[in-house]
Amino acid sequence: MPGAADFIQKSVHAVEAGVIAPWLRRALLVAAVVGLAVYHVYYFRGLATSQAMDQAQIGREIASFHGWRTNVIRPRAVAQLRGHGKPVARYIQHDTFEAPLPPLVNSVGLFLVKSHWQMTPHDLIYIGDKVIAIESIAFFLLSLLVLFFLARRLFDERLAYLACAFVLLCHLLWQYGLSGLPQMLMLFIFNCTLYALVRAIEARNAERPLDAWLAAVGAGFGLLALAHALTLWMFGAALPFFVFYFRPRLRSLGIVLGVVALMYAPWLLRNFVLTGNPCGVAWYSVLNGIGGHSEAEVMRHMATDLGGAGPQAFRDKIISNFTGQIAGLFGNFGLSIVALAFFVSLLHPFRSREAATLRWMLLVMWVGALLGMCVYGVDTEQEVAANQLHVLFLPIMSCFGLAWLLVQWNRLAFSQPLARAGFLAGLYVLCALPMIFNLPLFASPDRPQIRWPPYLPPYIAVLNKWMQPNEIVASDMPWAIAWYANRRGLWLPETVQKFTELNDSRVLGGPVNGLYLTPISGSDNKLRDIIRGEYKDWAQLILRTADVEKLPLTWATLLGLENECIFLSDHDRSAATKQ
């Protein structure tokens, strides 16, 4: 057929002439991105952290048009409301712990699957978990798109493609994308903020009006603060830059600072009205690690003074956290040597004035983020952590690190094109090793399909039928009860006596009708941790040696794999599931 032959000949000529080749490369890149996203969603095992579930259940309340309400009851919040003279039963479900933006974003996707909110015994992975993970990955890919335009503006298109590929192969970023934490939302906002900042720097260098770009930068930092208050440390560290770099100084500072204040002040005012503290109950997170107390233990205590919270304790905490963060810097940057090369690139005189300026701004913001993480602490026991901010800098630092590495390679003056390709391929393999080692080929065959221990969603969701909406369950994982069972969960108070007081005084609006203990306080700990650790006052119940008949909750049943969970209630609840 002459027509077909002519079409093939023109197509081959177009490829040889380089007309179609860019589009083929783009199509292959899109296919690779979609393939990676599908792969990670396919092997998704559910939300990974308590903070992710806490924000998710608040998002569901927003999707139900209840506002920023929570089903997680913290004893610390009870004490705070009492101290402020507020009726606890009326105000305890107004959340003042989590940042407001992540639940609001989660609510959009959750609203679309409202008819599937009720989890069934056949659901191994909750539909809400999947929706939030897909949303998070979508923000990751959008942040990658913004990064491409940012890198192209700072360097060139070729480097932008290469750098985005390095970011795409970072296993740590995909883990955060699947965790349900807001880091990918923050990454998208952060990259947009950096893009606006680069445009402001360009306008300053070209002596063009820059107020609009400075306002956009302020809006970016405002959204970051609403997504995670710890990012205010980054903003605070960046403020001197706006004073000394842009002109007029006070006007530039006023625009950025004014926009951030305008966006964040309403949330602070709300918290102050509710609790008497603009930071709400989240303020007490600063006591994490003080006197040997974890954040969980702080939130479970109702006493104002935990003891040992002096200047020396804070100093020791900051030094310890700083040492841990710096020692684990390679892991915090996803084992990416390209990202770590950023710090060496500070010694290189970049030709682009924007790139040369931005790198110092990045360094200053990173130091501010590091200081914030040292003050508040980062959970190093898990692969992902709610307070981990290094991941925000990983992509843009990869761009600078790659630019420096390519400059050093070019100085070696290798004439063979294959040598350059081999150099880049070696870098890609090194940065992709964590992802490669987590492929099904290398993964353990015993790896569970869900995040057990401690989370077993079907056995938690059964509480939805066992408990009424106005009833309360005390637990060591109230966030999971609030999310999977959609019931009010009281974080287990520090002592049985405090639990009894809350139950008898009806301060929460009624009695505590159930008690759910899981591997968080039990089998995940050594015997010494159980009898001397955070849950020592509950050791007899955890070890199943307590006389249930002496408790107000006399009916007990075992749940979970190998009966590692125990549920107690004021009467037999199992009949509800048999009807």
208: pLDDT confidence band, cut at 50, 70 and 90? very high
Q: pLDDT for 282-337, tens place per residue?
A: 999 998 888 778 899 999 998 766 666 778 888 889 999 999 999 999 999 999 99
Give the SS3 label for residue 446: coil
Identify which of 39-43, 205-209, 220-224 has the greatest average pLDDT.
Answer: 220-224
Q: For residue 14, name the pLDDT band (cuts at 50, 70, 90).
A: low
Q: Name the strand (E) or helix (H) holding 72.
A: strand 72-73
Give, rounded to a whole angstrom, the gap between the first and last alpha carbons of the chain.
71
Beta bridge partners of 94: 69
190-199, 287-296, 548-557, range with greatest mean pLDDT: 190-199
pLDDT for res 332:
93
How far, in Å, CA of 396 to CA of 411, rounded? 23
Q: Write the CA distances from 475 to 54, 72, 73, 418, 480, integer angstroms.
A: 14, 10, 10, 60, 9
Q: Is 60 exceeded by the pLDDT of residue 8? A: no
What pTM did the predictor assign? 0.93
Question: Taking 60 as the threshold, does the pLDDT of residue 546 lie above it?
Answer: yes
Alpha helices in 377-495 (DSSP H): 390-411, 417-437, 457-461, 463-466, 478-480
What is the pLDDT averaged over residues 511-535?
Answer: 85
pLDDT of amino acid 331 = 92
Q: Where are the alpha helices (DSSP H) in 481-551?
A: 496-505, 527-532, 539-542
pLDDT per residue as tens digits for the range 390-424: 999 999 999 999 999 999 988 887 777 788 889 99
Spatial distance between the Cα atoms of 563 and 517, rounded to a whole number of angstroms: 11
pLDDT at 13 (0 to 100): 54
Q: What percent of the chain has pLDDT over 70?
A: 93
Q: Given this model, what pLDDT does residue 262 score?
A: 97
| Confidence (pLDDT) at 2 | 56
pLDDT per residue as tens digits for the range 486-496: 999 999 999 88
User: Under DSSP, is residue 352 helix (H, G, I), strand (E, B) or coil?
Assistant: coil
